[in-house]
Amino acid sequence: MEYSATEMMTVAAARALKDDDVCFVGIGLPSAACNLARLTHAPNLTLIYESGTIGARPDVLPLSIGDGELCATALTTVSVPEMFRYWLQGGRISVGFLGGAQVDRFGNINSTVIGPYDRPKVRLPGAGGATEIATQCEQIFIIMRHSPRAFVPRVDFITSLGHGTGGDDRRRHGVGTLGPTLVVTDLCVMRPDPETKELTVVSLHEGVTREQVIEQTGWPVRFAAELERTPPPTATELDALRELQARTARAHARPEARDGGR
């Protein structure tokens, strides 16, 4: 079965989630991966969106972090202050799933500005929930498309702390959680080196070469001694993902009917 690099990336990310994880889900690629996991090997995965929906089981991917589909399928919906106080800061989340515009060799994420803050080259959306997601979930998974502009030696702006300047810098900021333990891209899977915390390639997707990853990474990227090959998507995974995407495209293109109530 043929598949795209984005499909490979989404499938590889989905596989990292366990059935009993409680996952704080970012919109876009993280949401696709989390819902794919729920629709395949992790049916009991708990998805939490920062809009307050706990245990959402959307039939189509939400466009926003607060589509009605999330609330309608959730176990319960709490206020946003409660979400950030009792659930995220309360230490109830096992995995935070983030994307961003830039990630650096120590897993720090920038979603604020490219260029200087006061005279930005590109003004990005900003932190949203990501700053505290990054420090308060047990561990962080990152999903991003590989490019030298995205994978940089040092982010222009640390929106979300990863491993800081490496080593135990995260601890020096008073943060006790694991931080980024996994980065999934359209080319490979990376994990932080146990000592230095530098992101290191541990698995190449099918058909991807070391040279391609080196070319697309903004720092002299290291590879694990025992470099693995990511198993390609199975037919089950691809079918589930494509059906989800097709349902989603149909739902979002439709100018939706107002369902009245009056």
Least gap, CB of 14 to other proteins (angstroms)? 19
Spot the catalytic one: 7, 50, 69, 237. Answer: 50
**Shorter beta-carbon distance to other proteins: residue 69 or 204:** 69
Least gap, CB of 143 to other proteins (angstroms)? 15
Least gap, CB of 126 to other proteins (angstroms)? 5
- Write the single-letter amino acid at 189: V
**Shorter beta-carbon distance to other proteins: residue 220 or 260:** 260
First-last CA distance in the chain: 49
- Whether residue 57 contacts residue 43, with contact meaning beta carbons closer than 8 Å, is answered with no
**Shorter beta-carbon distance to other proteins: residue 160 or 203:** 160
**Shorter beta-carbon distance to other proteins: residue 161 or 187:** 161
Least gap, CB of 40 to other proteins (angstroms)? 20
Q: 2-20 burial string, b = 16+ CB within 10 Å, else e?
A: ebebebbbbbbbbbbbeee
**Shorter beta-carbon distance to other proteins: residue 21 or 186:** 21
Catalytic annotation present for 50: yes
Q: Which residues are catalytic?
A: 50
